[in-house]
Amino acid sequence: MTETPTPEPTRTPPPDADADGLIDLLDDFPQDPSRSKQLRYASGAPVVEGYPLVVDTAQLDERLVNWIKTPQAVALAPGVYVGYNPAVTDLATYLESNVGDGDCAVRDLYEFGGGACWDGVLASPAEPQP
């Protein structure tokens, strides 16, 4: 009895259009190599484009400048911040903790759990301008 060798199957790797290492099926941004996962607020809304980002606390609304005790803060949404810990560089972690100080309406909109709020806190000049 002779065995016909099974031909090696040819494998086509799953498509990864932006070549960021995450296949398109799992990539929320299949055309953007700098992003792969869509972050969301507690409300379920997608995180505002360009956020989260690290900003200098001194650039914020003066009420935040007096409140946040770290030299840098993480802007989680326009007008909402949390103190930045240089030991925690994955900014998604700050969103997951869902604590932020800043504008009352924005905090309510995205359902932040903890933090202080003031009316009329605007995004700082360091943030993406609408």
Q: State in angstroms the smallest separation of the CB of 52 from Ca ion.
A: 18
Shortest spacing between CB 32 and Ca ion, in angstroms = 5
Residue 118 near Ca ion by CB under 5 A? no
Strand ranges for 5-95 from DSSP E: 53-56, 72-77, 80-83
Binding-site member from 10, 23, 36, 70 for Ca ion (CB under 5 A): 36
Quickly tell me which residue has 């799953």 as its tokens.
Answer: 14
By CB under 5 A, the count of residues binding Ca ion is: 6
| From 18, 39, 63, 83, residue interacting with Ca ion (rule: CB under 5 A) | 18
Question: Where in 83-102 is the site for Ca ion (CB under 5 A)?
Answer: none
Residue 40 has φ and ψ, to the nearest 5°, of: -135, 155
Binding segment for Ca ion among 26-34, 71-79, 81-89, 101-109 (CB under 5 A)? 26-34
Question: In degrees rounded to 5, what are phi and psi of residue 24?
Answer: -50, -35
Alpha-carbon separation of residue 22 from 19, 37, 130 (angstroms): 7, 10, 30
Do the beta carbons of residue 67 and residue 116 sit within 8 Å? yes
Q: How far is the CB of 26 from Ca ion (least distance, A)?
A: 9
The site for Ca ion (CB under 5 A) is made up of: 18, 20, 27, 29, 32, 36
